[in-house]
Amino acid sequence: MSNTIVADAYDRPLRDVRISVTDRCNFRCPYCMPAEIFGDRYQFLPREELLTFEEIERLTHIFVRLGAVKVRLTGGEPLVRKNIEELVERLAGIDGIDDLTMTTNAYLLPQMAQTLKGAGLKRVTISLDSMDDDVFRKMNGRNFGTEKVLEGIEAAESAGLTPIKINAVVQRGMNDHTIVDMARYFKERGHTMRFIEYMDVGTLNGWRMDDVVPATEIISRIDAELPLEPIDANYRGEVAMRYRYKDGGGEIGVIASVTKPFCGDCTRLRLSPEGSIVTCLFANVGTDLRGPLRSGASDNDIEEIITRRWAIRDDRYSEERASMTDELRGQRDKVEMYHIGG
């Protein structure tokens, strides 16, 4: 089967695939998996409903034939999926993938970084919302301190899972007073900080526009102490607006999907743990691939399902959000972020 580049209703190609390997996580961040909802009795997907590694590998081959060149493993927390390094090794063997990465909270990374690198993982993005221990304990919902995450970052660096990016979701009144300290800390260590506007992903996090710290404010706060200048994107569809330090000490990124939507260049497809493809982080429904996979569908059949779905894709929720009333936003069901990754 030859490669076929597909484009959606707005002529956006399929370039990036985010594969959520589990809906489970060892954190309970309020903006993603609030502890009062995802408690000890919460029923996550049973093992038999998750895609197997073989099924994920097969689908990834098809995504690559349709134009995907970047694959990111997410969750939930991908490192809680048993034997995740086996999946990494399978995907690393697929010709055509230029960038095989993982987003993780890094809590389990100290003991796994070297194995993941050996299996073929290229780099990691690490979620860390504050360097302030008290703030971080509150934001991860498990009272975990920053120590294990920092150990995970060191382990990733030692293993060569670089360049390392650090993601922080910024919420007003929660951690916005710590962003300059974070920028300074990782500037000194040569890692790229990326600050993310708090988004209304899913329906469970109690999102309010008042809790969003706009990208312009994030940049101005950092610029006041660590002077910045804007730089161009690395590629079409890059989600972060990039800025470099004027003293040459690296760069930061800001993801502004609330105040400066980038739907027009969105090239991302998401695969849920149970095998549905989702064409937008704010989608309310996916397209099932697991059923056809387990019913004997051929690769051609699966490719046709994906192509047909991508061809009619017209998602641009972030651009539409501004014109929605609070009531309308609240009425719209959306897939939860823990289920399809960020």
DSSP string of 34-87? -TTTS-TT--PPPGGGSPPHHHHHHHHHHHHHTT--EEEEESS-GGGSTTHHHH
Q: Which domain holds residue 168?
A: 18-340
∠ CA(255), CA(256), CA(261), 5° rounding? Answer: 120
Residue 201 domain-assigned (yes or no): yes
The pTM for the full model equals: 0.90
Query: What gap in Å lies between CA 37 and CA 86, rounded to an integer?
Result: 32
Local structure of residue 24 (DSSP, 8 states):
-
Residue 1 domain-assigned (yes or no): no
| pLDDT the model gives residue 14 | 96
| pLDDT the model gives residue 204 | 57
| pLDDT the model gives residue 340 | 60
| pLDDT the model gives residue 319 | 62
Residue 5 domain-assigned (yes or no): no
Total domain count for the chain? 1
DSSP string of 229-294? EEE--SSTT--SEEEEETTSS-EEEEE-TTTS--GGG--EEEE-TTSEEESSTT-S--EE-HHHHH
Local structure of residue 94 (DSSP, 8 states):
S
Cα–Cα nearest to 307, from 5, 55, 2: 5
Residue 7 domain-assigned (yes or no): no
CB 82 within 8 A of CB 88: no
The token duo for 198 is 């708090």
Give the side-chain half-sphere CA count within 13 A for 299.
15
248: left (phi over 0), alpha (psi -120 to 50) or beta: left
β-partners of residue 100 are: 71
Start-to-end CA distance of the chain, whole Å, equals 31
Residue 160 domain-assigned (yes or no): yes
Average pLDDT along the chain, 342 residues, taken 10 residues at a time: 78 96 91 79 90 98 97 96 98 98 98 98 97 95 94 98 97 96 97 92 65 95 98 81 96 91 86 95 88 98 97 79 55 55 58
| pLDDT the model gives residue 277 | 97
| pLDDT the model gives residue 259 | 87
Which residue type is seen at 146?
T
| pLDDT the model gives residue 90 | 98
Residue 8 domain-assigned (yes or no): no
| pLDDT the model gives residue 284 | 78
Residue 127 domain-assigned (yes or no): yes
Q: Phi and psi dihedrals of 101, rounded to 5?
A: -130, 175
Residue 298 domain-assigned (yes or no): yes
CB 196 within 8 A of CB 255: yes
CB 265 within 8 A of CB 12: yes
Q: What is the CATH number of the domain that holds 23?
A: 3.20.20.70
